[in-house]
Amino acid sequence: MPDRFYVTTTIPYVNARPHLGFALELVQADVLARHRRQRGDEVRFLTGTDDNSLKNVLAAEAEGLPTQDLVDRNAAAFEALREPLALSFDDFIRTSRDPRHRSGVERLWRACAASGDLYRKHYEGLYCVGCEQFYTEAELRDGRCPEHDTAPQRVTEQNWFFRLSRYQDRLHDLIESGRLRIEPAARRNEVLSFIAAGLDDFSVSRSQTRARGWGIPVPGDPDQVVYVWWDALGNYVTALDYAHHGPDYRRWWADSPRRVHLLGKGVVRFHAVYWPAMLLSAGEPLPTDILVHDYLTADGRKISKSTGVAVDPVDLVARFGTDPVRWWLLREVPRVGDADFTVEKLVDRANGDLADDLGNLVNRVVTMVHRYRAGRPPTGTGEPADAQRLTTASRHAPRLVAAALDAFDFRGATAAIWSVVEEANRFVEHVRPWQLSRAEGDGDLDAAANLDAALDVLVRACRALAELIGPFLPDTAGRIAAQCTPSAGRLPDPRPLFPKITASAR
Ligand SMILES: [Zn+2]
């Protein structure tokens, strides 16, 4: 019975071009989506851009462009990550352009208003435009935003407020009971203590003047613009035609057993507190899983548009190829804790894992089948006794990969795959097919049978690896499968899977 699986990334502001930190989230979501599809589940993978931020307005002003022009240009750069990063998203929503979005945000607003959760209040607070968020004095670090290290603006205005306080107990129960699952546990505990400390109602609109006329007007109050986070969080359902409770909404949200959000640690509160409360208020189902990744640093500094440290994923792919970039993100970034990116680490990983371990294995196996069996992989040979570790690793790997991905542990999943690669290489060194071939040449019939069996096991291990690697490195997986699939009984001529790369490669 196929499951249904809906997975989303956050939608980034488009005030600058995409950086490697967001590529991490896209690639993680892509692996989850591909892995589910491979297992026969029905999958919908959504990403997009948050066009309605004041940050976009300010960036456009700085460049002397109309806001819509800047937003269109930068959003296109995000959508264009699809090819270089080999992403398989099914849908891409743009909050300023997509006709599904505004009507959906309006419906969500009206639903919360109908529950009595929206009210007007005079407000004074400290606002960080970088975060698009109010801070209390206590949350600031030396009077500055903890994310951006900038001084917040003091804002005074009449705003709409959302009665978040009303949902405190329900949210706590939902998260504590695991009905709303937050991974890793450290993030879940942070959210629980944040809720337990007491939830304040939050401002969900701002004046047209402060928004510079950019954004979605509040239904029934056109002097106010919907708070950009309210608008942005809504994308997870507006993209499914929540506005009309259309078939996609029922299929992928209301009736889907898994509704999974991926996000970075800086926006957990919005996704694990504000968003579920908005849905509770609107009477809609909540996400089932919130999977939180930490941040990347580059050469020891935080990657962020606002700190000016940006590593361009498109540039990395142009230099090193798609799969080395995906592989570094998946194999090296831990489930908990920040990871530091350097070009040298990417190069070392690609050369050590992909060129040496995996590339040599596949190339050796295909070459031996050609050299010893004229390209015809032996079949029906029975299992050689000393292949047990390899066959056990192959057999267990799919389950281990699935369990690791369910725990949002990409490093664990890639390690499970790598145990198969390592066992296969060990098996080659152990059985020494070249010696068996020499003995066979001397008329040793046992050696001939053992060589058949060894090549059979190895070709099957390579095919299993193609399958296992598919969600992680789709291109490499396709090339391994092609190398190990006979046509008219013969494998194609061996071709190196991965050339070594160097840090200075262009
Ligand atoms: Zn900030």
List % helix, strand, coil for the chain (3-state, nearest 5). Answer: 50, 15, 30
Cα 232 to ligand 1 centroid, rounded to whole Å: 17
pLDDT tens-digit series, residues 318-335:
999 999 999 999 999 999
Whether pLDDT at 306 is above 70: no
Residue 132, pLDDT score: 85
Question: What is the structure's pLDDT at 301?
Answer: 84
For residues 360-372, give the mean pLDDT: 98
Residue 271 CA to ligand 1 center (angstroms) comes to: 17
CA of 154 to the centre of ligand 1 (A): 13
Q: pLDDT over 70 for what percent of the chain?
A: 98
pLDDT of 75 reads 95
CA of 366 to the centre of ligand 1 (A): 54
Residue 1 pLDDT greater than 80, yes or no: no
For the stretch 54-63, what's the b/e string if a residue is b when 16 or more beta carbons lie within 10 angstroms of its beta carbon? bbbbbbbeee
Cα(165) to ligand 1 centroid in Å equals 23
Contact 262, 291 (CB under 8 A): yes
Give the distance (Å) from ligand 1 centre to CA of residue 362: 49
Phi/psi at 4 (nearest 5 deg)?
-110, 140
| C-alpha 266 to ligand 1 mean position (Å) | 10
Decide if pLDDT at 395 tops 80: yes
With bands split at pLDDT 50, 70 and 90, how would you rate the model's confidence at 2? confident
pLDDT of residue 133: 87
- Give 163's pLDDT tier (boundaries 50, 70, 90): very high
> For residue range 34-43, what is the model confidence (pLDDT) as tens digits?
999 999 999 9
For residue 153, the CA-to-ligand 1 centroid distance in Å is 11
User: What's the gap in Å between 346 CA and the centre of ligand 1?
Assistant: 30
Confidence of residue 307 (pLDDT cuts 50, 70, 90): low
The pLDDT confidence band at residue 305, using thresholds 50, 70 and 90, is low
- Select the more confidently predicted residue: 285 or 503: 285
Determine how many CB atoms are found less than 10 A away from the CB of residue 347. 20
pLDDT at 310: 72
401 CA to centre of ligand 1 in angstroms: 37
Residue tagged 């509160």 (tokens) = 269
Q: What is the pTM of this model?
A: 0.95
- Mean pLDDT computed over 133-137: 89
> What is d(CA 105, CA 239) in angstroms, rounded to the nearest whole number?
10
**445: pLDDT strictly greater than 50:** yes
Distance from Cα 423 to the centre of ligand 1, integer Å: 48
Q: What would the pLDDT profile of 456-483 be if each residue is shown by its tens digit?
A: 999 999 999 999 999 999 999 999 999 9
SS3 389: helix
Q: Are the C-beta atoms of 281 and 117 separated by less than 8 Å?
A: yes
**pLDDT at position 147, please?**
87
pLDDT tens profile 61-119: 999 999 999 999 999 999 999 999 999 999 999 999 999 999 999 999 999 999 999 99
**269 CA to centre of ligand 1 in angstroms:** 14
Checking if the pLDDT of 308 tops 80, the result is: no
CA–centroid distance, residue 227 to ligand 1 (Å): 16
* Residue 156: closest CA among 120, 127, 124: 124
The pLDDT score that the predictor gives to residue 293 is: 96
| pLDDT computed for residue 506 by the predictor | 46
**Among 194-198, 269-273, 382-386, whose mean pLDDT is lowest?**
382-386
**pLDDT of 291 over the 90 cut:** yes
Instruction: Give the CA count within 13 Å in the CB-facing half-sphere of 300.
Output: 0
**Which strand (E) or helix (H) includes residue 483?**
helix 474-483
Quote the CA–CA distance of 251 and 241 in Å, as a whole number: 11
